[in-house]
Amino acid sequence: MWYLCVFYHRLLDYRRAEVESLAELFGAFEDDNGYDKEKKSLQWRVPENHHPDSPFHLVNLPSEDVARNIANRSTLRSHCILVKGIYELWGEGSSYEELEESIRGYPEERKCPYLNSGSTFKITVDCFGKIISFQEQTERIKGLAYIPFKNGPQNAFSFRKNEAVEEGERVSGYWVGRASLRNPDHNFWLMETDDYGTNNGLPPIMQRRIFFGREVGCADRKLLPTYQLKSRTYLGPTAMDAEMAFLMANQALAKPGKLVYDPFVGTGSILVAAAHFGAMTMGADIDIRVVRDGRGPDCNVWSNFKQYGLPMPVALLRADNNLPPWRPGLKEVFYAIICDPPYGVRAGGCKSGGRKLLRGPVDRYFYANVKLHLTWKSTNILNTDNLQGRLQSTRILSP
Ligand SMILES: C[S@@+](CC[C@H](N)C(=O)[O-])C[C@H]1O[C@@H](n2cnc3c(N)ncnc32)[C@H](O)[C@@H]1O
């Protein structure tokens, strides 16, 4: 079934990849349901007249459970980072007249279970690319009167600034019950994008589109402030931004019982994200001061895990990835390798040993059983082509 997937307007190239990884995590490709099992990719569309960079995408998912899990990822106490919400789309149009026609045409049997008087609901108005007043939001909601919600004190039409609405107060002809605003059974969203051309920062070729849908899952980015770098105990000059680290851990399908390895561990930001998702972690770095000492007994990679109450890494190694410490033939140790290799001048790559040792070709490689995720291709110290041929089911991500 097709769902409306609304993204945060950030890290555009990573958005579909994150959803596809989480779809895989939640078994979307396991059953014979018409998906490309090899590529593990989903079908995507953008709404009419929308640019591929649009925050609004339509995605075909096998079930509502998969859609809900992707947006909430609640079963693994974690969250999809770039998805704002996933919705069952009841209608869309480039005008409110078209929207009405579309909603009226949506199958009754799909709408009915959510319209009965025994359940509470809430409608929220959200705009993308413009701000509309409280008054305008009220008008928009009044315009949805043709949807046969069963009125009653249990039901609620709400607005973002619903503080002004008192319990039992009749707003625009609809009863409002405060309790159901806080914890409604069903959340509906009216989402509107603006026309491009009013200097609103939207990508080109986006024309006004209005969507109305039932929320299936809604993201919670609260974990990002918790893990933000400015409150991290041990920081280095190239510590990985928390949002990117969580995104990578999601794409590596980090989950309980799996071992995730970061061969360029630095201050451990990527492993912290993987540990949050329940994975066991292990890291290595060429710099002994990083993995052994940090800035003292209470300020090191270990204390970054302690700070969030996460299980400690199973090991931190001092190792040069040019001369990895694995015995030949070692296979299928790691479920995922996630790393942020050195780049540029500030954090350039290093190699151990004298000139003689370093002159020959790099013919060592890592073994992992599932995935390799890289943010930067760093072929001088980590030959990714070499790696790809030797890993099972490898997917390399690089911007
Ligand atoms: C970009 S930083 C990684 C930062 C890390 N993601 C964090 O959040 O702190 C790259 C790291 O790779 C390490 N490094 C450089 N060359 C290496 C090599 N040949 N083998 C292993 N580690 C290396 C550096 O010491 C540095 O800590």
The model's pLDDT over 371-392, given as tens digits with 9 standing for 90+, comes to 444 443 333 445 444 444 334 3
Cα of 194 to ligand 1 centre, how many Å? Answer: 44
**Ligand 1 contact, 245 CB (< 6 A):** no
pLDDT digits (tens, 9 = 90+) for 84-114: 999 999 999 999 999 999 999 999 999 988 8
Calculate helix-pair angle for 242-251, 269-276, nearest 10 degrees: 60
Q: How do 43-45 and 56-60 pair as beta strands?
A: antiparallel
Q: What is the pLDDT of residue 232?
A: 96
Q: What is the DSSP letter of 291?
A: I
Which residue type, as a one-letter code, is found at position 293? D
Which neighbouring-strand residues pair with 316? 283
Residue 128: which pLDDT band, with cuts at 50, 70 and 90? Answer: confident
**Ligand 1 contact, 274 CB (< 6 A):** no
**Ligand 1 contact, 304 CB (< 6 A):** no
Mutational test site, ligand 1, from 303, 350, 352, 383, max ligand atoms within 8 Å of CB = 350
Q: What is the pLDDT of residue 360?
A: 45
Q: What is the pLDDT of residue 181?
A: 60
Residue 139 CB partners (closer than 8 Å, separation 6+): none
Q: What is the DSSP letter of 347?
A: B
SS (H, E, C) 153-186: CCCCCCCCCHHHCCCCCEECCEECCHHHHHCCCE
**Ligand 1 contact, 342 CB (< 6 A):** yes
pLDDT digits (tens, 9 = 90+) for 284-315: 999 999 999 999 999 999 999 999 999 999 99
Identify the three-state secondary structure at position 345: coil
The listed range with the strongest mean pLDDT (51-55, 141-145, 270-274) is 270-274
Nearest atom in ligand 1 to 235's CA: 9
Cα of 212 to ligand 1 centre, how many Å? Answer: 47
Q: What is the pLDDT of residue 179?
A: 36
Q: What is the pLDDT of residue 52?
A: 86
CA atoms of 241 and 244, how far apart (whole Å): 6
DSSP assignment string, 67-97? HHHHHH-GGGT---SSEEEEEEEEEEESSHH
User: Comparing 8 with 181, which gets the higher pLDDT?
Assistant: 8
pLDDT digits (tens, 9 = 90+) for 13-39: 889 989 998 898 888 887 666 666 666
Q: Which two tokens stand for residue 334?
A: 């790691």
pLDDT beyond 70 at 354:
no
Cα of 260 to ligand 1 centre, how many Å? Answer: 16
pLDDT digits (tens, 9 = 90+) for 167-199: 333 333 333 333 356 678 889 999 998 776 655
Q: What is the pLDDT of residue 198?
A: 56
CA neighbor of 368 nearest in space, from 347, 389, 342: 389
Task: Report angle CA 342, 343, 349 to the nearest 5 degrees.
Answer: 50
**Ligand 1 contact, 266 CB (< 6 A):** yes
Residue 287 CB partners (closer than 8 Å, separation 6+): 318, 350
Residue 158: which pLDDT band, with cuts at 50, 70 and 90? Answer: very low
**Ligand 1 contact, 111 CB (< 6 A):** no
Q: What is the pLDDT of residue 26?
A: 86
Cα of 268 to ligand 1 centre, how many Å? Answer: 10
**Ligand 1 contact, 103 CB (< 6 A):** no
Q: What is the pLDDT of residue 396?
A: 43
Identify the three-state secondary structure at position 8: coil
Q: For the chain, what is the mean pLDDT?
A: 77
14 by Cβ neighbours in 10 Å (0-12 / 13-18 / 19+) ranks as: buried
**Ligand 1 contact, 278 CB (< 6 A):** no
Identify the three-state secondary structure at position 63: coil
pLDDT beyond 50 at 210:
yes
**Ligand 1 contact, 54 CB (< 6 A):** no
Mutational test site, ligand 1, from 232, 234, 238, 247, max ligand atoms within 8 Å of CB = 238
Q: What is the pLDDT of residue 235?
A: 94
User: Comparing 354 with 100, which gets the higher pLDDT?
Assistant: 100
Query: Where does the chain have alpha helices with state H?
Result: 15-25, 64-72, 96-105, 108-111, 134-142, 178-182, 223-227, 242-251, 269-276, 288, 301-307, 355-359, 384-390
CA atoms of 293 and 89, how far apart (whole Å): 53
pLDDT digits (tens, 9 = 90+) for 256-281: 998 999 989 999 999 999 999 999 99
**Ligand 1 contact, 350 CB (< 6 A):** yes
pLDDT beyond 70 at 200:
no
Domains and CATH numbers, the chain: 2-218 (3.30.2130.30), 224-390 (3.40.50)
Q: How do 336-339 and 259-262 pair as beta strands?
A: parallel
Which residue's alpha carbon is nearest to atom 27 within ligand 1? 266
Which residue's alpha carbon is nearest to atom 8 within ligand 1? 239
Identify the three-state secondary structure at position 212: strand
pLDDT beyond 70 at 365:
no
